[in-house]
Structure 1
Amino acid sequence: MTVKGLISAFTQQEDLNFLLTNRIPRAALTRFMGWFSKVENPLVRDASIACWKLFSDLDLSEAKKTEFRSLHDCFTRELKPGLRPAAADPAIIASPSDAIIGAHGRIEDGQLFQVKGAPYSLLDLVGDPALVERHRNGRFVTLRLTSSMYHRFHAPYDLTIDKVTFIHGDVWNVNPIALKRIERLFCKNERAVLCAKLSTGEAFTMVPVAAILVASIRLHFLDVTLNAQSRGPVDFPCDAQVKKGDELGWFEHGSTIIVLAPDHFEFCDNVAEGTRIKCGEPLLRKP
């Protein structure tokens, strides 16, 4: 096959992926998946997990449990103790989740990138001008969780979380194919903005972004499920003090976490677009 033919075949494959995962009733399918995944029937559970393994690199060898009540129970599985230790160096901000590293860099006067050449506004993402000012010209990194990854996320440092804002939105797929085709995708999807301060007093923000088939986001320190029923934007004031490595919550499928850090932080040497990172591994370094 010629180079031109290979490019054409690759483009057609991407187009088909985008069609199958986006040009469908996204919200309805997501609500259905939220219900279906909780069905506690052994036949449904086993068939669903077998199908999931067939189309992904799902590895359950690290799971704390060997038997699951439902597909949902498998999605939100805990890991065996000690498998994701947080980097001990007090200068290190750890990754809050297992992920594939996406776009990252400097927030250029309030502007970020979802992929090269596709900018979006920090204000559109978080909806709070004061928060934008705290992160103007800071650092951002995009962490994409695939469907087969560990779906829980943890505190990357000693933090005080003082507010969570839930912003209602769509549920586009967040894979690279969709990111190249949908402008400002992260600003369109449902998301939670976790406003925090590091133990050193500096502003630090995490934005878990939901996606297709993600029925909800759960946070341990809020007695509420953040999903389409939580019409937003709505603020949840809180005073959650967490230690580095503490579990914060989980997605009910794969999705994305956007991390916003101060401008004097630097990315660790292992941070490169397209590489995999595990929860607790070095992400950013304080000078």
Structure 2
Amino acid sequence: MKYVTAEGKYVDENNKQDRLLSVLYGSWWGRALLKPLVCPAVSRVCGCFLDTPVSKVLICPFIRANRIDMSQYEETDYASYNDFFTRRVRPELRPFPGDPEALPSPCDGKLSAFVIGAGSLFSVKHTRYSLKELLKSRTLAERYEGGLAVILRLTVDDYHRYAYPDSGVKSCNRVIHGRLHTVNPVANDVYPIYKENSREYTMLHTENFGDVIQMEVGALMVGRICNRQGKGRIARGQEKGRFEFGGSTVILLFEKDRVQLRERLLEDTAKGYETVVKMGEVIGWKRK
């Protein structure tokens, strides 16, 4: 995994999880082993176990293995592993910008940014994506040609709740059923994960950034994308929902000439680096 830290340091890291997933996704026998695990039914069964009090035994080992700083989170007694995994961060640690024209990240994650080209196409690593396939709508996809796609990949150590980046009015949620591959970059070399995985999206008619699509993508062992509201008014920084156990992804789609991203985000993406960001952190501005 290649990423840019909050301090601007470039890191090339190949941890145990990356190496294991490289072996599994890079070999025929590994993909055969993974085949049952990426089925939503398996994630649902695992999710049911992680909702039980017995699953609490997994909490302390997980904290130690991922070096999670629990002082950042509200103190409470967790009823289950999923209750712990969707824990709330202390609100003062994820402030949203006061400037209404500043674009905040809706979640913690590792950010990549792409220009949406002709035919509503953009490339992630070596895989080309069509918005028509991603959204299951040709008409909607055509509206975003020439715009920007911002992909925020969450890992297990991230805060797994996400918010709205601006105030406005949202449409109904649209659910697209699919499989549940890991969202680790190694899987993207083998499968077009964002158009194969289960996902859910809504149109946000925002006050500052035009009509923004916000999409949540499920991942390996994440059987539940839990969005809180249906159609109606929304506020910047208002919680939109949460992911249950595992890594996952939030995608933002912007129309052409609506947003100016922070300097170097597109450049670093082109070099193969993701940028570490936190919920509420400014990632761009309204284009004048």
- Check whether TM > 0.5: yes
1:38 equivalenced with 2:51 (yes/no): yes
**Alpha-carbon distance in structure 2 between the residues aligned to 1:197 and 1:252:** 27
Task: Provide, for residues 159-190 of structure 1, a one-character-per-residue CA deviation record: whole Å limited to 9, x for no partner.
Answer: 311122100000011101111221x2100100
Corresponding position of 1:256:
249
Please say if residues 178 and 198 of structure 2, whose CA atoms lie closer than 8 Å, have aligned partners that are also in contact: yes
Map 1:2-17 to 2 at 5 A: 13-16=20-23
Corresponding position of 2:173:
164
2:187 to 173, 178, 189: 178
> For residues 220 and 191 of structure 1, do their structure 2 counterparts lie closer, same or farther at Cα, with a shift above 3 Å needed?
same
Task: Provide, for residues 47-90 of structure 1, a one-character-per-residue CA deviation record: whole Å limited to 9, x for no partner.
Answer: 21123234424332211124211101011111112211112222
Query: Structure 1 counterpart of 2:22, which letter?
Result: D
Return the offset for 1:131. 1.4
Corresponding position of 1:206:
214
Corresponding position of 1:227:
none
Task: Provide, for residues 223-252 of structure 1, a one-character-per-residue CA deviation record: whole Å limited to 9, x for no partner.
Answer: xxxxxxxxxxxxxxx2x2111111111111
| TM, length-normalised to structure 2 | 0.82
1:188 equivalenced with 2:182 (yes/no): no
Q: Sequence identity, in percent?
A: 26
Please say if residues 86 and 242 of structure 2, whose CA atoms lie closer than 8 Å, have aligned partners that are also in contact: yes
How many equivalent residue pairs?
A: 258
**Alpha-carbon distance in structure 1 between the residues aligned to 2:136 and 2:43:** 24
Structure 2 unpaired stretches of 5+: 1-13
Return the offset for 1:96. 0.5
Return the offset for 1:156. 0.6
Query: Structure 2 counterpart of 1:269, which letter?
Result: E
2:61 to 38, 42, 51: 51
| TM, length-normalised to structure 1 | 0.82
Query: Structure 2 counterpart of 1:148, which letter?
Result: D
Structure 1 unpaired stretches of 5+: 1-6, 223-237
Corresponding position of 2:9:
none
1:87 equivalenced with 2:97 (yes/no): yes
Query: Structure 2 counterpart of 1:246, which letter?
Result: Q
> For residues 32 and 263 of structure 1, do their structure 2 counterparts lie closer, same or farther at Cα, with a shift above 3 Å needed?
same
Corresponding position of 1:286:
286
> For residues 158 and 40 of structure 1, do their structure 2 counterparts lie closer, same or farther at Cα, with a shift above 3 Å needed?
same
